Structure 1
Amino acid sequence: MSKNRQREGRKLKETEAKLWKQVVSDVTPANTDKIQQIEYDNYDTKPISKRPSTKTNNRLRKSIIDKQITPSTEMDLVVGKSISLDRRTAIRLRRGKLKIENRLDLHGYNQQQAQDALRNFVENSRELGQRCVLVITGKGSIGDSTGVLRRGLPNWINQPDLRHHVLAIEQAQSQDGGLGAYYLLLRRQRDN
């Protein structure tokens, strides 16, 4: 069937034909005398080039070369998003099924003390070859809805001195501290 040929449809039933006549009964055809004709002579009809000119290519190439390309840094870790883990390990970490090899309780620490203790804890745990560790921050005081340490820990993990040690961070299960604790999955210590 050609594109210009109208499609032949099914024959309308009597009730459909009556309904159609009723719908179009008050429609008046457009006055074709008043339709403005567009003059196409005023428009540029040169075909658009598919490829940019060599001048444009050279300009683009030079701008790319001139820019200093820096390697992208690692993506920030987000609680509950384990993009660098295989699915099975991510699920086991989230469900608290990995063996916790070390614990750090930050109750009673101020923010600076907690950051320093976390840094030392993560570095030492990784040196010992430990993979899954638990960091207990506490839920915070009654007046503080989230707790300074609990809110700060995911940010501290993403600082350059700690980020390269940690693969994933997950909220702990209730038996391990729940909202007041985090599982950290540390990178394996590579032998050189």
Structure 2
Amino acid sequence: MSKTDFQSALKALGQQAKAEAERKKNAEAAELKKQREAVDFAQEIGAVTPLKNSRRYSPPRDNTPIKIRPAEESLLDERDYFYVGEGQWLDIPSSFSKNGQGQNDIRRLQTGYWEVVADVDLHGYNQEEAQKVLNEFIEFVKKRGVCGEIVHGSGLGSSGYQPVLKNLVRRWLMAHPDVLAYAEPHKGNDGAVRILLKRPPRRED
């Protein structure tokens, strides 16, 4: 074998050994990566609580009581208060909707689809006071969401067993321009209604 042939063979062996070493190195790196990826995720994280699947945002509920405010602190100018006339309606529906969605809105109110952002108890108020509180309540809810709950009682203690406040509240809600629907949220209990309000128009920046 000539000197030239020997050098060529030696060079070829060197290249072959280098290629083999590179292949082995790559195989070891791949195995190490595989082992790292095979870590038990649940074991590493520890105990977790699954999140409920919900598509709607639920803001924190504001439990601040609604009261008749002095004129200077009112959310509305008293001249802008909405009132309904006196008179007894004997056939007040337990649920009501006026925006074309009908039973969909009523069903969603009953099942808690919308977050109740505030509630108000009208026990102890006369009819005029109750309407003032309702006006304030509507504005209060509109600033926080679209759904609120009104406790008006069943009216069993009223004179002649006629539910004056209950009928007044529901007539008021049916006529108010910002109220889309109401429904009794608790089966077998007609002493409260849950309301759905129009969404305020989006501001364009």
TM-score w.r.t. length of structure 1: 0.49
